[in-house]
Amino acid sequence: MKALQVSKVTKSYGEVPVLKGVSFGLAAGERVALMGPSGSGKSTLLNCIGGIDRSDEGTITIEEQSLEGLDENELCRLRRESVSTIFQFFHLLPTLSARENIEFPLQLAGLEGAEREERVAQLIDEVGLSHRADAMPDELSGGEMQRVAIARALSIRPHLILADEPTGNLDTVTGESILDLLAELSDAHGIAMVLVTHSESVTRICQRTLRMQDGVILEEIATAG
């Protein structure tokens, strides 16, 4: 089964076309890097795939469910249950500890008691943060904050994770360790990933790289990962 199929997607803001017919697919567990200059439409595309924004035309299909037919509640459910996003600036809730940030989507999903606690403990362990579980976001380094965000993204057990410049606010060494972690988790759990990036080094963990410019995908190349 395909994790994602994007077909002929267009999107304008007012009169300005931002996506001009974007198509690509992603197999289950596959990782693709999405590169291109600032303003080329990468974040807009990711937001449309993640149900944060809506495309104008074309289709986006996630696990055989087409987003176009979904109303706001159903899109919201998609974000809560099926697709996770990781951001450059982490987007952690500042008043919640690392553990509570990771737990939050599971509370929304109605997972209770021991099962929730076990899942959270396992996630914290998987991202290597057991010793920092009770720290608040402002006590964490950038790399640690991104690990919390990754554990939170994993909590709902998605088949697709979208990452918008996940290493963009990290130093090189920390960024590399975050990429290693993403590749490891994607392989371990069969999670497909779209990684938007300015960094060529992201291509090392991706099977394919898409180059975007002015709202279209100009070229697609096979890469190392």
Ligand X SMILES: Nc1ncnc2c1ncn2[C@@H]1O[C@H](COP(=O)(O)OP(=O)(O)O)[C@@H](O)[C@H]1O
Q: Three-state DSSP class for 65? A: strand
Identify the helix (H) or strand (E) that includes residue 145.
helix 142-155
Q: Which residue number, 20 or 189, has a Cβ lying nearer to ligand X? A: 20
The residue from 3, 6, 9, 18 that contacts ligand X (CB under 6 A) is 18
Residues in contact with Mg ion, total (CB under 5 A)? 2
41 binds ligand X (CB under 6 A): yes
13 binding ligand X? (CB under 6 A):
yes
Pick 129 or 161: Cβ nearer ligand X = 161
Which of Mg ion, ligand X, none sits in contact with 190, Cβ below 5 to 8 A by type? none
Among 31, 42, 132, 152, contact with ligand X (rule: CB under 6 A): 42
d(CA 2, CA 134): 38
Q: Going by DSSP bridges, is the β-strand pair 65-66/216-222 parallel, antiparallel, or unpaired?
A: unpaired
Binders of Mg ion among 41-60, rule CB under 5 A? 42-43
Q: Which residue has the tokens 């996003």?
A: 85
Residue type (1 letter), 12: S
Nearest to 24 by CA among 39, 37, 14, 41: 41
For Mg ion, the binding residues (CB under 5 A) are 42-43
